[in-house]
Amino acid sequence: MLEHVPHWLGSLLHNVRAGHSKLVIVQEGVVTNDARLDLSSLAFADGGRLPPRFTADGEGVSPPLSWSGVPDGTAALALIVEDPDAPTPNPLVHAVVWNIAPDTNGLPEGAIAADGPGSFDGSDVGRNSYRQEGWLPPDPPTGHGSHDYVFQLFALREAAPLDINPGRSEVLAAIRGAVLAAGMLVGTYSRGEEAPVGPAGAAQTA
């Protein structure tokens, strides 16, 4: 959708961004200790550019994720992916996954997809900012500059039952006071500017 925003308009809005201070992970009462989850992806490095496959310029599937360091006493994991660089009042939500089993160590490529009332393992893919289940592929406006896509993983001492297909506000309310450990992974993407690609760091306009 946003690929149709003209370059001049994206450039004009360059400094209009929701802000990293509005990410779930930095909200008051969410993370209250230093325990950390190690969150990573085989598809991109932390702070590196997302391959187009995982964006609106490609197949638009969710990237593979892996993690470790889940502490004892974890009842469930929750994942939320946000774009704090979106030209919107609040970060754009790209994915919500609730009630992930604590003994899992990742999600395969394409796993964040519509699942109706939930998955066989008890987890539930929630609503993105377009109020749809599943992965909202990164789709930054052309000329708006680089966007961070922040993957935030939380180990919870309890997973309160939520309505089917929960959204950001429900998850935020449910994890306050329940986070045992947290992890973060950032992928970037942009359109209409030079961006490093490939193992040698060659640049191309994307």
The predicted pLDDT at position 170 comes to 95
Spatial distance between the Cα atoms of 199 and 150, rounded to a whole number of angstroms: 23
- Containing 80, the helix (H) or strand (E) segment is strand 76-83
Percent of the chain scoring above 90 in pLDDT? 72
Check residue 8 and give its pLDDT.
32
pLDDT of residue 3: 53
DSSP 3-state percent helix, strand, coil across the chain (nearest 5) = 15, 30, 55
Residue 16: pLDDT over 70: no
pLDDT digits (tens, 9 = 90+) for 56-87: 999 999 999 999 999 999 999 999 999 999 98
Strand (E) or helix (H) holding 170: helix 168-175
**What residues contact 161, with CB distance under 8 A and at least 6 apart?**
none
Would you state the pLDDT for residue 201?
A: 44
Question: If pLDDT is split at 50, 70 and 90, which confidence band does 204 have?
Answer: very low
* Residue linked to tokens 């066989």: 120
Distance CA 42, CA 62 (A): 12
What does the mean pLDDT of the chain come to?
88
Q: What does the pLDDT read at residue 4?
A: 52
- And the tokens for 197? 């690609």
Q: What is the pLDDT of residue 14?
A: 47
Quote the tokens at residue 96.
Answer: 């919500």
36-46 pLDDT tens trace = 999 999 999 99
* Least confident segment among 4-13, 20-29, 137-146: 4-13
pLDDT in tens, 104-122: 999 999 999 999 988 878 8
Domain boundaries, the chain: 2-192
CATH topology of domain 2-192: Phosphatidylethanolamine-binding Protein (3.90.280)
pLDDT at 202: 45
